[in-house]
Structure 1
Amino acid sequence: MISSLWNTGGELYSRTGPYPIQLQQGYLGEIYGMAFFERLGRDYHFQATESQAVFSLLFKVEQYTAETLLKLLPELASLDEALPEQVRMQAQKEVGSWLKLPWHELLAALRLWVEPYQQKYAKWADDAESNSEYCAAFRLLERHETAIYLYLQALEHGDKRAALILERFLEAL
């Protein structure tokens, strides 16, 4: 995604250690995801009925995760407004190359795109397990990314009940 952008200019924290920066990156990832899935939902034209439902649900998961992160870490609200806006603009721009992919290829590409984030967030959550201040936020990011990954995997395999994966995640928030 845009990690180089996330590490400049908008750091919220003066505390040492990787946790605040990682959580800022995770939060900005949710902002990116909202803009990305919003544009896919609006402009993707293959499998229009199915894809709109998929992207709407993914947008909702990104949005609710961002809102929950803000509740867990209110200091994220003090992020320089220019940084989330840059993230949104970059997502809107980058989604263009995805719009031409046929449905099955798009699902596979999205799953492959999410996979390293799912692994990274799982490692971050494990690393922060003993940190009472940040553990819940890291576990949220991990559960979020794992749910999206499993959802995309289920969609790829044609599972008609795939949406239950994300619906269960949302119910647990």
Structure 2
Amino acid sequence: MQLQQGYLGEIYGMAFFERLGRDYHFQATESQLTEIHLTESHLTESHLTESHLIESQAVFSLLFKVEQYTAKALLKQLPELASLDEALLEQVRMQAQKEVDSWLKLPWHELLAALRLWVEPYQQKYAKWADDAESNSEYGAAFRLLERHETAIYRYLQALERGDQRSALILECFLGAL
């Protein structure tokens, strides 16, 4: 049951980051244009640069890729997950798509902080699951995969918040280990 929840979390994450990557650029641009229009004499710190928009698309694309790779790896380890009801999977995707609406208007730094805070309890939960499953050789690898996945995302978001230019290496190392 826990591994099914973890797999559904990957499905959710793919839909979430796909939409965030597609719509954050547009929404952020519209929001900034409105803000710039209202404060024409104060264009300094509120100006959204093209490099921030490119960075956001790269971030969400990489996060989507991590979710997708982890879901595929879980399916390889647990083929029974492929028999989940498609209606359930679609419900999870739609829920993720809908939740993105509340994230789209956040400024970049606030979005990163919110994502990190959102991921943190999952990282802790998956670490506990992996520790609890340590003695279970049949499912231990799948639990450890979920834990490594969530820990990599959490550390990546922390690095992004710090402005670490090499933050993508955290997720690239995770992907290379699969």
Tell me the TM-score range normalised by the shorter chain: 0.7 to 0.9
Higher relative contact order (CA 8 A, sep 6+): 2
Contact 2:27 2:105 in 1 (8 A): no
Q: Deviation at 1:45?
A: 2.3
Evaluate the alpha carbon distance shift between residue 169 and residue 102 of structure 1 in structure 2; reply closer, same or farther with a 3 A threshold.
same
User: For residues 111-169 of structure 1, what are the alpha-carbon distances to aligned partners after superposition, in whole Å with 9 as ceiling and x for unaligned?
Assistant: 00000000000000000000011000000000000000000000000000000000000
**Any runs of at least 4 consecutive aligned residues in structure 1 with deviations exceeding 2 A, and if so which?**
45-52
* TM-score, normalising length: structure 1: 0.85
Alignment root-mean-square deviation, CA: 2.6
Aligned-pair identity (%): 92
Contact 1:151 1:165 in 2 (8 A): yes
Contact 2:134 2:140 in 1 (8 A): yes
* TM-score, normalising length: structure 2: 0.82
Q: Deviation at 1:48?
A: 7.5
Q: Mind listing any 5+ residue stretches in structure 1 that lack a counterpart?
A: 1-20
Contact 1:36 1:95 in 2 (8 A): yes
Contact 1:40 1:95 in 2 (8 A): yes
The alignment covers a number of residue pairs equal to: 153
2:153 counterpart residue number: 148
The structure with more radius of gyration: 2
User: For residues 52-97 of structure 1, what are the alpha-carbon distances to aligned partners after superposition, in whole Å with 9 as ceiling and x for unaligned?
Assistant: 9000000000000000000000000001111111000000001100
Higher helix share: 2
Give the one of 33, 42, 46 matched to 2:22: 42
Give distance in 2, aligned partners of 1:137 and 1:88: 22
Give distance in 2, aligned partners of 1:80 and 1:45: 33
